[in-house]
């Protein structure tokens, strides 16, 4: 554990991100607020279209504009509001202070660059080391992510590596500059289950050594349960619930969270029937004024689609956007 | 009940790799990739067999060989007592009516230019399922069966979400009243909440229509949920097979154990930092000697590196391909009986 572990590293307040499409404007993030203490892992769970990837890109200032734009809110990272920084300042933040790994290790490495050059590029660009040192540091980094015979691998091209190894290389690149925050957007979704297990454990080990915070975006409640200290549940661009991992899984305060938990086939439980969430994923162009989940919610009341939702604290440290969390049940 | 619908005997599928031009000139033989290697299993009527394994283990190839979308290199496929391994295209037509498939990707397995009505009607007419005056009624019944509205009939696939498309795929497969349904990763591309809907639907229709199902997937928890027996594949071979209880509660093969341990469970609490299975899956072009799992196996001994493991029958249903499990000098006594 690092010192000041209760200090907040990242605090997002009321973030709005829009995308303009021919069919209309989509609010991909609507009034998103969350905070992440130093050295902790925050899991963001949501289904496709819930705005979890847009949130990560907003933090890094990578929303393509047009069609996208951030129309409101603040992103406080380590004492500064990222939305107020110039592009030059953001360039320093990206890669040095905040690093990101993406879902698809097959396409996020440059196929015509050697592994070693890609890993240490960030250090060379930001002027921390000479080209001569970079090879040595590259080998050390590959060792840290447990790649066998790193002195050989460092001169190879990405096509020679398996999916799991490429994701290890991505992680080596991400930790090269000892970032304070690592954004991992579905880092193991494309990997097999035994390889996923290896990569998640590697990330947790490195977190302890480097002392960084992690935001882990996933659609898999299992992955989040095993890795995160806190969980944020997103639906249709909005935060539905935020709490410590234990609380989310044992005392969920939102019917959507309950629905997600009931949808998972569990090996421990001998139920032969799942309890799915009814209905279809939301159409982001036609969201109700109130709770976006209300049309699929089994305990919704007539005022749910009408009353705009606000995230509020119902138990210490446990935030929910549900008007009637006592009805969430399990 | 005990009638066998599908039996696969010693099935092998070898793909010849494309040869570099120089190798061709030098008359060097093409490299061979053994995707499925001597696989045998049976599925009884009304049963569901879950076939699991990681990418590259040959589970999809196996499914396609059974459908005769690939020609098997050797071995036999018996479907409802008939050897279909070498039937010609004409003869396969009636077999295909009784053997249907749904695929992983609901986005690419529907023709974008056909409405649901056109896609389903085509199947009905081709296989002469209903007289033309009952076509429409049957179509609506199909849609209702998979949980879609009537007005879905005249829409194009693009206006449906992933889960709805998978329902359409299911309607198309079931339109011809098959006996065997091969489901190749049917829920892997879907969101969790939708995945549960489709799994329930699949289970309901299976019971209602009396389907026999071969369920191919990489997710153990999903397979466990729908299957009564399971087969675990690794690099082209079935390394453990049994009833779902045997494989999940009394698994013997170190790979099965590793898969089960590697699965993230939706129960909070940080676990053991030791990875469940170390290392990468070897390339099937460069198959390990002896037991194929020995390069990653935590309990491998000398014998595993050199000799192929024996297939051990633990019970009439439970088999394991391992030198060391249940024990090294295991002599065929059935455990616990």
Q: How far apart are CA A165 and CA A179, in angstroms?
A: 21
Alpha helices (H) along B111-253: 116-126, 135-145, 162-174, 192-209, 220-226, 244-249
To 10 degrees, what angle do helices A193-210 and B254-262 make?
Answer: 50
Closest CA to B161 of B194, B203, B192: B194
- DSSP string for residues in A185-246: ESTTTTS-HHHHHHHHHHHHHHHHHHT-EEEEEES-HHHHHHH-SEEEEEETTEEEEEEEHH
Cα distances from A92 to residues A87, A120, B8, B145, B234, in angstroms, run 9, 15, 60, 57, 46
What is the maximum alpha-carbon separation in chain B?
A: 69
CATH top-level class for B4-234? alpha beta
B194, B268, B278 member nearest A225 (Cβ): B268
CA angle B216, A160, B297 (to 5 degrees): 55
Nearest Cα residue in chain A from B192 = A263
Asked if A196 and A162 touch (Cβ cutoff 8 Å), the reply is no
Taking the CA atoms of B31, B217, A215 and A27 in sequence, report the sign of the dihedral they define: positive
Q: How far apart are CA B221 and CA B256, in angstroms?
A: 13
Contacts of residue B196 in chain A, CB cutoff 8 Å?
262-265, 274-277
- For B60-90, the pLDDT digits (tens) are 899 999 999 999 999 999 999 999 999 998 9
- Determine which of A194, A209, A225, A266 to mutate to test the interface with B (most B C-beta atoms within 10 Å): A194
Question: Domains of chain B: which residue ranges?
Answer: 4-234
A74: left (phi over 0), alpha (psi -120 to 50) or beta: beta
CA dihedral A240, A245, A249, A253 (to 10 degrees): -30
Residue B154 corresponds to which tokens in the numbers above?
């005249």
- For B37-48, the pLDDT digits (tens) are 999 999 999 999
**So what's the pLDDT on residue A234?**
95
ipTM: 0.84
**pLDDT category of residue A4 using cuts at 50, 70 and 90:** very low
A92 contacts: CB under 8 Å, gap ≥ 6: A126
B247 contacts: CB under 8 Å, gap ≥ 6: B230, B232, B240, B241, B256, B318
| Higher-pLDDT residue of B333, A230 | A230
**So what's the pLDDT on residue B284?**
84
**So what's the pLDDT on residue A5?**
41
A196, A198, A263 member nearest B193 (Cβ): A263
- For A17-51, the pLDDT digits (tens) are 999 988 888 889 999 999 999 989 999 999 888 99
Mean pLDDT score of chain B: 89
Q: Is the pLDDT of residue A244 over 90?
A: yes
**So what's the pLDDT on residue B300?**
92
Q: Which residue has the tokens 């998972």?
A: A264
**So what's the pLDDT on residue A269?**
60
Q: With 0-12 CB in 10 A as exposed, 13-18 as middle and 19+ as buried, what is A112?
A: exposed
pLDDT > 70 in chain A, percent: 95
Euclidean distance between the first and the last CA atom of chain A, given in angstroms as a whole number: 34
- For B306-330, the pLDDT digits (tens) are 999 999 999 999 999 999 988 887 7
pLDDT > 90 in chain A, percent: 41
Q: How far apart are CA A97 and CA A101, in angstroms?
A: 14
- For B90-146, the pLDDT digits (tens) are 999 889 999 999 988 777 888 899 999 999 999 999 988 888 889 999 999 999 999
Q: How far apart are CA A203 and CA A200, in angstroms?
A: 5
CA angle A59, A83, A89 (to 5 degrees): 90
**So what's the pLDDT on residue B270?**
64
B12 contacts: CB under 8 Å, gap ≥ 6: B34, B36, B37, B38, B39, B72, B73, B74, B75
Cα distances from A37 to residues A161, A231, B114, in angstroms, run 35, 12, 52
Q: Is the pLDDT of residue A216 over 90?
A: yes
Q: Is the pLDDT of residue A270 over 80?
A: no
Euclidean distance between the first and the last CA atom of chain B, given in angstroms as a whole number: 24
Q: Is B218 on the interface with A (CB under 8 A)?
A: yes
Q: Which residue has the tokens 């015509």?
A: A112
b/e code B33-62 from CB counts within 10 Å (16+ = b): bbbbbebbbebbbbbbbbbbbbebbbbbbb
- For A67-114, the pLDDT digits (tens) are 888 998 999 998 899 999 998 899 888 878 999 988 877 778 888 998
A233 phi, psi to nearest 5 deg: -105, 125
Nearest Cα residue in chain B from A274 = B196
Which residues 77-96 of B have a C-beta within 8 angstroms of A? none
Interface A-B, measured as beta-carbon pairs within 8 A, has a size of 139
CA angle B91, B94, B99 (to 5 degrees): 115
- For B143-156, the pLDDT digits (tens) are 999 999 998 999 99
Cβ distance B273 to A192 less than 8 Å, yes or no, reads no
**So what's the pLDDT on residue A2?**
36
Least confident interval from A200-209, B179-188, B226-235, B261-270: B261-270
Question: Domains of chain A: which residue ranges?
Answer: 239-330
**So what's the pLDDT on residue A327?**
83
Q: Is B161 on the interface with A (CB under 8 A)?
A: yes
Contacts of residue B259 in chain A, CB cutoff 8 Å?
193-194
Residue A324 has a CB neighbour count (10 Å cut-off) of 17
* Helices (runs of H) and strands (runs of E) counted in chain A: 10, 12
Q: How far apart are CA A108 and CA A256, in angstroms?
A: 32
Q: How far apart are CA B171 and CA B139, in angstroms?
A: 9
Length of chain B: 337
Q: With 0-12 CB in 10 A as exposed, 13-18 as middle and 19+ as buried, what is A35?
A: middle
pLDDT > 90 in chain B, percent: 60
Task: Give the distance from residue B259's alpha carbon to the nearest chain A alpha carbon, in angstroms.
Answer: 6
**So what's the pLDDT on residue A161?**
85
Taking the CA atoms of B241, B246, B249 and B252 in sequence, report the sign of the dihedral they define: negative
Q: How far apart are CA A91 and CA A110, in angstroms?
A: 20
Sheet with A238-244, strands from edge to edge, namely A98-101, A181-185, A213-218, A41-45, A230-235, A238-244, A318-320, A312-315
**So what's the pLDDT on residue A3?**
38
| Higher-pLDDT residue of B324, A327 | B324
């Amino acid at each position: 554990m690092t010192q000041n572990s209760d200090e907040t590293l990242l605090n997002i307040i009321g973030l709005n991100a829009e995308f303009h499409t021919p069919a209309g404007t989509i609010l991909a993030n609507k009034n998103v607020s969350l905070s992440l203490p130093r050295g902790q892992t925050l899991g963001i769970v949501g289904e496709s279209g819930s705005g979890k990837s847009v949130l990560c890109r907003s933090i890094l200032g990578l929303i393509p504009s047009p069609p996208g734009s951030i129309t409101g809110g603040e992103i406080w990272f380590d004492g500064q509001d990222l939305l107020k920084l110039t592009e030059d300042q953001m360039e320093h933040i990206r890669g040095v202070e905040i690093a990101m790994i993406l879902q698809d290790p097959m396409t996020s490495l440059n196929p015509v660059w050697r592994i070693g050059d890609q890993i240490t590029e960030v250090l060379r660009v930001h002027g921390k080391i000479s080209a001569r040192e970079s090879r040595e540091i590259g080998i050390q980094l590959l060792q840290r992510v447990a790649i066998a015979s790193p002195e050989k691998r460092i001169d190879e091209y990405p096509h020679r590596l398996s999916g799991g190894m490429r994701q290890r290389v991505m992680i080596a690149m991400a930790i090269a500059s000892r970032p304070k925050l690592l954004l991992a957007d579905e880092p193991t979704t494309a990997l097999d289950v035994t390889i996923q297990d290896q990569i998640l454990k590697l990330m947790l080990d490195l977190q302890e050594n480097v002392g960084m915070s992690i935001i882990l975006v996933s659609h898999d409640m299992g992955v989040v349960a095993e890795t995160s200290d806190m969980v944020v549940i997103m639906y249709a661009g909005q935060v539905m619930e935020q709490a410590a991992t234990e609380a989310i899984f044992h005392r969920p305060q939102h019917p959507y969270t309950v629905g997600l938990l009931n949808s998972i086939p569990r090996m421990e439980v001998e139920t032969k029937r799942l309890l799915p969430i009814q209905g279809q994923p939301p159409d982001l162009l036609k969201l109700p004024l109130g709770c976006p989940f209300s049309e699929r919610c089994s305990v919704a009341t007539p005022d749910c689609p009408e009353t705009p939702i606000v995230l509020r604290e119902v138990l210490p440290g446990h935030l929910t956007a549900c008007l009637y969390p006592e009805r969430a049940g399990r | 009940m005990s009638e066998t619908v599908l039996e696969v005997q010693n099935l092998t599928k070898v793909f010849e790799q494309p040869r570099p031009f120089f190798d061709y000139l030098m008359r060097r033989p093409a490299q061979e990739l053994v995707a499925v290697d001597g696989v045998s299993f049976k599925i009884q009527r009304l049963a569901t067999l879950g076939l699991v394994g990681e990418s590259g283990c040959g589970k999809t190839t196996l499914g396609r060989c059974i459908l005769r979308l690939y020609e098997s290199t050797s071995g036999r496929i018996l479907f409802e007592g008939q050897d279909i391994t070498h039937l010609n295209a004409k003869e396969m037509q009636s077999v295909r009516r009784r053997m249907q498939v749904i695929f992983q990707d609901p986005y690419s397995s529907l023709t974008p230019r056909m409405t649901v009505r056109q896609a389903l009607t085509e199947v009905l007419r081709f296989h002469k399922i209903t007289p033309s005056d009952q076509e429409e009624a049957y179509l609506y019944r199909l849609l209702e069966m998979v949980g879609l509205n009537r007005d879905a009939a005249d829409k194009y696939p693009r206006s449906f979400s992933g889960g709805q498309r998978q329902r359409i795929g299911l309607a198309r497969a079931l339109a011809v009243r098959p006996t065997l349904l091969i489901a190749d990763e049917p829920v892997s591309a879907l969101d969790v909440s939708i995945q549960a809907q489709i799994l329930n639907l699949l289970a309901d229709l299976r019971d209602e229509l009396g389907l026999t199902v071969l369920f191919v997937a990489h997710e153990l928890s999903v397979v466990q949920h729908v299957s009564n027996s399971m087969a675990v594949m690794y690099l082209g071979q079935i390394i453990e097979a049994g009833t779902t209880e045997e494989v999940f509660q009394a698994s013997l093969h170190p790979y099965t154990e590793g898969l089960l341990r590697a699965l993230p469970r939706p129960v909070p609490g940080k676990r053991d930092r030791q990875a469940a299975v170390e290392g990468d899956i070897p390339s099937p072009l460069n198959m390990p000697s002896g037991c194929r799992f020995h390069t990653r196996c935590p309990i491998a001994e000398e014998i595993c590196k050199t000799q192929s493991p024996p297939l051990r029958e633990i019970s009439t249903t439970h088999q394991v391909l391992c030198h060391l499990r249940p024990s090294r000098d295991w002599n065929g006594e059935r455990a616990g009986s």
